[in-house]
Amino acid sequence: MDPVLNPYAPGAGTRPPALAGRDRLRENARIALARIKAGRAAKSVLLIGLRGAGKTVLLDRMREDAEAEGYQTMRVEAPEARSLPALLAPDLRLALIKLSRKEQAKQLVDRALSGLAGFVGAFKLKYDDIEMGMSYQPEPGLADNGDLEHDLQALFEVVGEAAQGVGTALVMFIDELQYVEEDQLAALITALHRTAQRQLPVTLVGAGLPQLPGRMGRAKSYAERLFEFNEIGPLPNADAAAAIELPAREHDVSFDPEAVAEVLRLTQGYPYFLQEWGKHCWDAAERSPITRSDVEIATEAALAALDASFFRVRFDRLTPTEKRYLRAMAALGPGPHRSGDIAQALQREVQSVAPTRSNLIKKGMLWSPSHGDTAFTVPMFDEYLKRIMPDDSGRP
């Protein structure tokens, strides 16, 4: 069918034609934010899931929902090796400048901007990736001690007072939260704990890989009580079918039930894969309804597209040693696997491959579902590795 009209949208963070199966989570977030704005207790919302599960698009949709309710939002993505102050400061400034346009609480907003100026000044040397200057006069002693845990807390408090004064809440949307260093994550948790205790309307809606809850728990043992960890998983059958069928239906195109069943089987309900299969089914079919044999043609193209993008960008970031480690895992199946079994497959001692494993966790390629277990963060990565490294010698 006409590729120009193709409604599907595979891609990192690409808005899907139909956001299937996430209404309950959006509603939960709406309630949490409304409670926080009203000064009532509510946990911060975190979205946890594998690569391609749909965290980013849900985070963005929650942000749109929040904007529509009149909250002040900001949205950042934590890249690897970037400090939290450098990540937050520019967007906090923007958010505060927007708040300052409302006349209600000019003094409180100005004080928050002074706090931010002190904060930026205090951390510019320590974190040399802060690339901004502040024209605001810092207030001596406010958020400028040089101790991140203390200063971030002080900063969030004045920011919270400003948002409260304006009659709104500041909602920080942070994607890829697992890349924030553990000591900085600890400071973030402490600061949010403080604003929660003082019932100030500042909160976080975050997204990250499955290692995030463990990292947060290690950073601060009370993190569990402060955050609601929502698992963003593959879509259940009815929702996965909707993700495939609804976009086509808008164009009066339908799928045979066997075709849908086959797409669900192949994709296991993973949103990224659903978009990729949807796209290629559409392109493969001559006419409506899309049949099971169209799915067969589409499958080859969908896999080729995934291999060239979704899987490829991850693979290209690996060292040869890391590739060998992952390939040995793939040979054992989709996982999770015991770390001892992987080491054995590599004919190495567990301790000698431990640094490789830990680098792969840091890079966000692996996570540990329980002590001594190791699993891929990219669904179906085992199959991909077997496709592109047919022998398991570690050479592509």
**Distance from C-alpha of 201 to C-alpha of 165, rounded to nearest angstrom:** 10
Residue with the CB atom nearest ligand ATP in the bound state: 54
Interacting partner of 16 out of ligand ATP, Mg ion, none (Cβ under 5 to 8 A depending on kind): ligand ATP
> What is the residue-wise DSSP string for 4-42?
GG-----STTPPPSS-TT-HHHHHHHHHHHHHHHTT---
Among the listed residues 1, 6, 20, 136, the single contact to ligand ATP using CB under 6 A? 20
Q: Is 10 in the site for ligand ATP (CB under 6 A)?
A: yes
Which residue from 275, 299, 339, 356 is in contact with ligand ATP, where contact means CB under 6 A? 275
By CB under 6 A, the residues from 243 to 262 that bind ligand ATP are 243
Q: Is 14 in the site for ligand ATP (CB under 6 A)?
A: yes
Interface with ligand ATP includes 11 (CB under 6 A)? Answer: yes
C-alpha span between 45 and 303 (Å, rounded): 34
Angle formed by the axes of helices 257-267 and 237-249, nearest 10° = 120
Q: How far is the CB of 271 from Mg ion (least distance, A)?
A: 11
- Do the beta carbons of residue 129 and residue 82 sit within 8 Å? yes
Q: At what angle do helices 84-100 and 106-123 cross, to 10 degrees?
A: 160
290 binds, among Mg ion, ligand ATP, none (CB under 5 to 8 A by kind): none
Applying the rule CB under 6 A, the residues between 33 and 92 that interact with ligand ATP are 49, 51-57
Tell me 233's DSSP state. -
Tell me the closest approach of the beta carbon of residue 22 to ligand ATP, in angstroms. Answer: 5
Chain residues 87-126 in contact with ligand ATP, contact rule CB under 6 A: none
Element (H, E) at 77: strand 72-77
- Nearest distance in Å: CB 181, Mg ion: 19
**Which element (helix H / strand E) includes 115?**
helix 106-123
First to last CA, the chain: 36
Alpha-carbon torsion angle 116, 118, 122, 123, nearest 10? 10
- Cβ nearer to Mg ion, comparing 56 with 275: 56
Q: Which of 56, 72, 153, 164 binds Mg ion (CB under 5 A)?
A: 56
CA atoms within 13 A on the CB side of 243: 33
Size of the site for ligand ATP (CB under 6 A): 24
Our finding on whether 114 is near Mg ion (CB under 5 A) is no
Identify which of 31, 143, 40, 136 has the alpha carbon closest to the alpha carbon of residue 85. 143
Contact code string over 184-223 relative to ligand ATP, x by CB under 6 A: ----------------------------------------
Give residues in contact with Mg ion (CB under 5 A).
56
Give residues in contact with ligand ATP (CB under 6 A).
9-14, 16, 19-22, 49, 51-57, 243, 271-272, 274-275
